[in-house]
Amino acid sequence: MNGFAGDPISDGMSFVFNSIYDKDPDVISRFDPMFADSIFQYLSGPKVGGLRVETVDYRVVYLAFSFEQIPTEEERDTLMNRTMNWLLDGTTSVGNNDLIVRSFNLEQNYPNPFNPSTTISYSLAADENVSLKVYDIMGREIAELVNEDQVAGTYSIDFDASLLASGMYFYKISAGNFVSTKKMVLLK
């Protein structure tokens, strides 16, 4: 099982299951990537083994494998601590800022809901021209936060919405073939 680079829960995690099963225990085959982020992928291929979901009202983490299958107590403790940190307040320290980014990822902004500013984080697995824009509920472009070539790595940008009205907004990143959109809520 591999975690996804930049993910607040699974970043840098990798483990092989104890021999309870002859094959992967379970696979999450149907989910909407607009509303859920993959947090684990099986070593045997691009099969999703864990998700996290964040809405205005709640956060959920779902694992397709049983917790006791994680081989070491240290790995179980790490996963549990990161999961609880993310569920309770959204802050997680990965501890090693020198990790190699292996995938493109757009994180949920934090805090969300927010007033008047929030932070948007994303990861680039390769050097790309990056566009990060904010749109209102009608699809009108509100702000262009990034429009430049960037090297592979993890980035965070603050978005100040002090001049905007309360409501739902969307932010969209385009970097090469990677495109992802997330929603955020401004409450004044």
Please report, for the domain that includes residue 159, its CATH number.
2.60.40.1930
List pLDDT tens digits, range 31-45.
777 778 888 888 777
List pLDDT tens digits, range 52-79.
988 777 889 998 888 888 888 888 888 9
Last residue of some domain: 57, 88, 119? Answer: 88
- φ and ψ at residue 103, rounded to 5 degrees: -150, 160
- Which string of b and e fits 63-101 if b means at least 16 CB within 10 Å? bbbeeebbeeeeeeebbeebbeebeeebebebeeeeeeb
Question: How large is the C-alpha radius of gyration of the chain?
Answer: 17
Q: Does some domain include residue 98?
A: no
Last residue of some domain: 88, 123, 148? Answer: 88
Q: pLDDT confidence of 119, banded at 50, 70, 90? A: very high
Query: What is the strand order of the sheet 117-124 is part of?
Result: 105-106, 117-124, 153-160
Domain count of the fold of the chain: 2
Please indicate, yes or no, whether residues 79 and 111 belong to a single structural domain of this protein.
no
Min mean pLDDT across 26-30, 48-52, 71-75, 103-107 is at 26-30
Q: Which residue has the higher pLDDT, 159 or 37?
A: 159
Q: How far apart are CA 55 and CA 108, in angstroms?
A: 9
SS3 state at 69: helix
Q: Which pLDDT does position 19 carry in this prediction?
A: 60
Q: Which pLDDT does position 100 carry in this prediction?
A: 55
Min mean pLDDT across 36-50, 109-123, 146-160 is at 36-50
**Cβ–Cβ < 8 Å for 157, 132:** yes
Q: How far apart are CA 168 and CA 117, in angstroms?
A: 14
Please indicate, yes or no, whether residues 72 and 109 belong to a single structural domain of this protein.
no
Give the start-end residues of each E strand in 46-95: 48-54, 59-63
Please indicate, yes or no, whether residues 10 and 74 belong to a single structural domain of this protein.
yes
Q: What's the whole-number mean pLDDT along residues 101-112?
A: 87
Q: What's the whole-number mean pLDDT along residues 16-41?
A: 72
**Parent domain of 57:** 2-88
pTM of the model: 0.49
Q: Does some domain include residue 9?
A: yes
Please indicate, yes or no, whether residues 20 and 66 belong to a single structural domain of this protein.
yes
Last residue of some domain: 62, 88, 114? Answer: 88
Q: Does some domain include residue 99?
A: no
**Mean pLDDT for the chain overall:** 84
Q: What's the whole-number mean pLDDT along residues 154-171?
A: 94
Amino acid at position 110, single letter: Y
Q: What's the whole-number mean pLDDT along residues 125-134?
A: 94
Please indicate, yes or no, whether residues 114 and 147 belong to a single structural domain of this protein.
yes
